Amino acid sequence: MRLSFMGSLSLVAISLAVSLTFHDADASTRIFWNSNDEEVMLSARNMDLDEGDQPTIYAVPAGKSKTGGINDNPATWTSKYGSVVITLKGYANVCDEGINTQGLAFHYLYLKGSEYETRDSRPGVDGGIYGQYLLDNAANVTEALTLMSQTQLVPGWIGTFYPCHLALENAAGDSAVVEFVGGQMKVYHDPDKPAYILTNEPPLDQQRANLTLYKGFGGDLPWPGDVDSKSRFVRASAFLKTLNIDPYWFICPDRISRLFSAIRAEATPFGAIMFKDDGSEVYAWPTLWTSLFDLTNKAIYFTHSIARNNFWIDMGKLKLSPGAPVLYLKADRTDLFGDVSKLLRPPAQPALLLLLLSN
């Protein structure tokens, strides 16, 4: 009976694999919490992806001369601020997210259908390092948005293989989202409508309109429980509203633990199925890792779903001033726990840093 049962399970698994696609699935959630009573600015995100991404953390000092990494009128700059970034697939020139010494953070999240601006005369920066460019040069969200108006994000790995929108936040509590829709850059930066939550498609204005259908936001629908992007947007918005409620004072959770509990509630399990608007079914991209940035105290918390690690980095313990070396740490190591700030080391092969170091 056991063999028969297991065989049946195998047939079901094979049937699902044949009938479901692995592509064009939603991915990732970001929450920015700037309203807690301790006035500590925190942002958290889940990285959902349909392939192993080999996350690597780089500590990048200030004072590095860099270029935009394209042939057509690249931007050039010398970094004003040091930063810590998490890169994709171990590539130092494809930064998923990061935080600088001024408390500015950025995050890329997948947005299917993104259409970037037609190349014009402004200096350009390859999409993979555009977030790093902002961290190098901007102290806050407003300065980052000014830089984005003066330069162009040129699709490379980010934009071509992974069309994305960009979330920004800073230690003063400001936040913005930038999307590229219909060939134009659209900025959401309105204090009356703060951009604290971001998931994936549809674009943010449609996500906000959908949110009004649910309880607590003007509608009557109960909060959804599935894993698609619109549902995660609703749940993340709802949980953000409740983070400051403390009925369990006797447990005494700190602010880091509170936000981790909210972002983990948006995680996508391995093998989860997502139901698209057209009725089709796809495998949802699973949550590979979760990060949390303390913008006030300049710390990065990280946990990997497969490595089952749980660690943090204190930026105050890193040398990020001009002249310091670039350091890195493979974030999917199974032996990482607690404060690992002292474990970052210079890369064994500096040439692999590519565009991160540039000139």
Residue 18 pLDDT more than 70?
Answer: no
> Per residue in 308-339, pLDDT tens?
999 999 999 999 999 999 999 999 999 999 99
Q: Give the number of other CB atoms < 10 A from CB of residue 24.
A: 15
28, 74, 84, 109, 247 from 126: Cα distances, Å: 22, 8, 19, 16, 47
Question: 80 CB contacts (<8 Å, ≥6 apart)?
Answer: 62, 136, 137, 139
Q: What is the pTM of this model?
A: 0.90
Mean pLDDT of the region 255-277: 92
Residue 15 pLDDT more than 60?
Answer: no
pLDDT interval class at 25 (50, 70, 90): low
> What is the pairing mode between strands 327-330 and 56-60?
antiparallel
**Can you tell me the distance from the alpha carbon of 276 to that of 293, in angstroms, rounded to the nearest whole number?**
32
C-alpha torsion 263→60→50→276, nearest 10: 50
Q: Give the number of other CB atoms < 10 A from CB of residue 118.
A: 8
Q: What was the pLDDT predicted at 161?
A: 86
**Can you tell me the distance from the alpha carbon of 341 to that of 324, in angstroms, rounded to the nearest whole number?**
15
122, 153, 162, 329, 342 from 348: Cα distances, Å: 36, 30, 28, 11, 16
> Per residue in 49-92, pLDDT tens?
988 889 999 999 999 999 999 999 999 999 999 999 999 887 88
Q: What was the pLDDT predicted at 120?
A: 97
pLDDT interval class at 26 (50, 70, 90): low
Residue 22 pLDDT more than 80?
Answer: no
Write down the mean pLDDT value for the chain: 89
**Can you tell me the distance from the alpha carbon of 180 to that of 159, in angstroms, rounded to the nearest whole number?**
10
Mean pLDDT of the region 124-147: 98
Nearest to 186 by CA among 157, 244, 145, 126: 145
Q: What was the pLDDT predicted at 43?
A: 98
Residue 357 pLDDT more than 60?
Answer: no
Tokens representing 110 are 């997948």
Q: How many CA atoms lie within 13 A of 253 on its CB side?
A: 15
| DSSP conformation letters of 247-268 | TTTTT---HHHHHHHHHHTT--
Tokens representing 327 are 């350091």
The conformational region for residue 103 under phi > 0 = left, psi -120 to 50 = alpha, else beta, is left
Q: How many CA atoms lie within 13 A of 99 on its CB side?
A: 26
**Can you tell me the distance from the alpha carbon of 177 to that of 196, in angstroms, rounded to the nearest whole number?**
9
* Range among 202-211, 251-260, 279-288 rated most confident: 202-211
Domains and CATH numbers, the chain: 25-199+287-356 (3.60.60.10)
**Can you tell me the distance from the alpha carbon of 181 to that of 12, in angstroms, rounded to the nearest whole number?**
39
Q: What was the pLDDT predicted at 349?
A: 63
Residue 23 pLDDT more than 70?
Answer: no
Give the chain's length: 359
Percent above pLDDT 90 for the chain: 75
Better-scored residue on pLDDT, 57 or 159: 57
> Per residue in 256-265, pLDDT tens?
999 999 999 9
